[in-house]
Structure 1
Amino acid sequence: MPGPKLLDPSSSPRAMLGAELRHKREEAGLTQEELGSPLFVSGSFIGQLEAGTRRMQMDYAVKIDEILATDGYFVRNCEAATKSKYPDHFAEAAEAEAIATTIKEYAPQLIPGLLQTKAYAWAVCRTYQPTAPEDVIDGTVTARLERAHLLDHPTTPLLWVVLDEAVLRRNTGGPAVMAEALRHVAELIRKHRIIVQVLPFSAGAHAALEGSLKLMAFADAPPLAYLDGLGTGQLLDDPATVARYELAYDLVGASALPPEASLALIESAAEAYSRE
């Protein structure tokens, strides 16, 4: 397995914890596997904590302090490192997404968060929380739009999205919102910043019928898969499980339209909404 990513400890609380964990583990003469064993996690998981691709949960912090005799250091610092502006079920995935080199996503119902416009994000968040105060919706939308700054870099991360045709046809927020949202996606495609395919209804049954799927790869840590549900999410690192989802994504991509035809369909749908 590649060595852990060398993080700047001053860059974030998670980076600080990862750097200190690596230092204390090596000082104790333990391998990642040896530290992971009493925690009932893999050596890869410890590597992901050190690399900053996984969050340190409090129960792990307690055990690590015991094993490494660090006098409560990880417990004291764990709370700050796990604070997030994202929902609990998505926070760890968002943090991993921020340092991924490649993101591949199958979106069955909605435009992915990284590609949403403000109006589209507002419509989605308001639908999810119909009785929430305006400032709560504002905060959620702002956090979602901030994630999109990942795409400010001209090449990294590589973002490859397969949109189900339902994403184009589901009128979210009204025709004007949909027209703007789809044109935004088309603009990113035409700037060669993202790769997008559309999985048409005519493709029939496919390998990801059961839900959304996000795959993340990193420069020096094992890949992760994230499964999203209604108010729930699972971040998975088991190599066999991730490989199975990578195959599912590849099969979906093979059934989808080529990028050029996908762009034409997206722009056609945007034009149809603009005429409504």
Structure 2
Amino acid sequence: MNSNGEATGGAEGAYDPRRQFAEECRSHRELYPPGPLNQTQLAKLASTSKSAISRVETCMGPIPSGLPARLDQVFSTDGLFKRLYEEITAQSFPVHSRRRIELEPKAVSISAWSPTVVPGLLQTAPYARALLREGDPRASDDEVATLVRARMARQEVLKGNSPPDFSVVICESVLLRNVGSPDVMREQLSALLAHGSRRTTVLQVMPLCAETHGLMDGSMSILTTADGPPVIYTEGIRSGTIIEDPSTVRHLSRSYDVLTASALSRDASAHMIRKLMEAS
């Protein structure tokens, strides 16, 4: 599976955060202190539909991204449903990338370099679908749709009232490469402009005319959490590695600093993206 694909199921009886989410929802609903709630009553309190609650409790289909926080609020569960949702999202990805997926929601700062495709945190659904379809031509439409939902759910880390500081450098070739169709690329370029306009995001383009730099071999993310030192995630086609060695992290972080100094400015990058979008 692609590095953003689903993991295979574990042994029978193994811990399943999706099943745990369903059981916790049902249990808290039935043991609600003022009195048991039926699914319709919980749906009203959680600003969703009865059918959504039913699907959650029977493990049918995806969990709406905003529902875990609302359930925590209704049941005063101090982030229980949010934590389970993060585990569910992490398990939608292969083993080698789960540590990164688990760290992203906790990060106060994320810095990324992508020389080949738009980073997953910034992809539109049609762009992601085109990549995933080409990555596994034998996958069914439902399987691809599940992978797209997992990738879109991952983007929740950049939303909300307190998103991490996000810095991203994208190679110009990523903007020039046609993924899906011209319409898909126009939508993706427009989304990049919107992301780049956020106060917590710095988006830069590395022009093709730039000199050789130390991160030409592959993509990289630097993740910094409030309670630990920075770690680096590097990724290949079907592999990924978390780097925690302090000296290696410092070396690669310095290479990223040099990369940002060599890239176009924030405004010049937006200008390039806008011109490409208008010309497409």
Q: Shared topology, TM-score over 0.5?
A: yes
Q: Give the TM-score band, short-chain normalised.
A: 0.5 to 0.7
Tell me, what secondary structure is at the counterpart of 2:170?
A: strand
2:132 corresponds, among 125, 129, 151, to 125
Match of residue 270, structure 2, among 248, 253, 263: 263
Q: Which one of 191, 198, 208 corresponds to residue 205 of structure 2?
A: 198
Q: What is residue 231 of structure 1 aligned with on the other side?
A: 238
Distance 1:175 1:108 in 2: 20
Instruction: Choose which of 88, 111, 131 in structure 1 pairs with 2:118.
Output: 111
Distance 1:193 1:255 in 2: 21
Q: Which moved more, 1:183-192 or 1:158-167?
A: 183-192
Which of 157, 164, 178 is the equivalent residue of 1:171?
178
1:122-161 maps to which residues of 2 (within 5 A)?
122-161=129-168
Question: 8 Å contact 1:155–1:193 — kept in the other structure?
Answer: no
* In structure 2, distance between residues paired with 1:256 and 1:126: 31
What is the CA-CA distance between 1:193 and the residue it aligns to? 4.0
Whether the aligned pair in 1 keeps the contact of 2:90 and 2:102 (CA below 8 Å) is no
**Distance (Å, rounded) in 2 between the aligned partners of 1:204 and 1:228:** 23
Which residues of structure 1 form unaligned runs of 5+?
A: 1-11, 14-79
Contact persistence 1:154–1:193 (CA under 8 A): no
AA in 1 matched with 2:208: F
- What secondary structure sits across from 1:101 in the alignment? strand
C-alpha deviation, 1:235, in angstroms: 0.7
- Identical counterparts, % of pairs: 36
Contact 1:101-1:156 at 8 Å conserved across structures: yes
TM-score by length of 1: 0.68
Runs ≥4 residues deviating over 4 A? 80-83
Say if 1:253 and 1:123 are closer, same or farther in 2 by CA, change over 3 A.
same
Q: TM-score, normalised by structure 2?
A: 0.67
CA distance in 2, matches of 1:157, 1:201: 29
AA at the equivalent of 1:101:
V
Q: 1:97 aligns with which of 98, 104, 113?
A: 104
| Cα RMSD, aligned residues only | 1.9
Q: Which has the higher helix share?
A: 1
Matches of 2:128 and 2:146, distance apart in 1:
11
How many corresponding residue pairs?
Answer: 196
The residue that corresponds to 1:252 in the other structure is 259
Query: What's the CA shift for 1:103?
Result: 0.3
Deviation at 1:156, TM superposition (A): 2.1
Deviation track 1:176-226 (CA, whole Å, cap 9, x = no partner) reads: 101100101101222334210100011031121111110011111111100
What runs of 5+ residues in structure 2 fail to find an aligned partner? 1-15, 18-86
Residue 231 (structure 1) shift: 0.7
Shift of 1:83: 7.0
Aligned partner of residue 203 in structure 1, secondary structure: coil
1:230 is paired with a residue whose SS is: coil
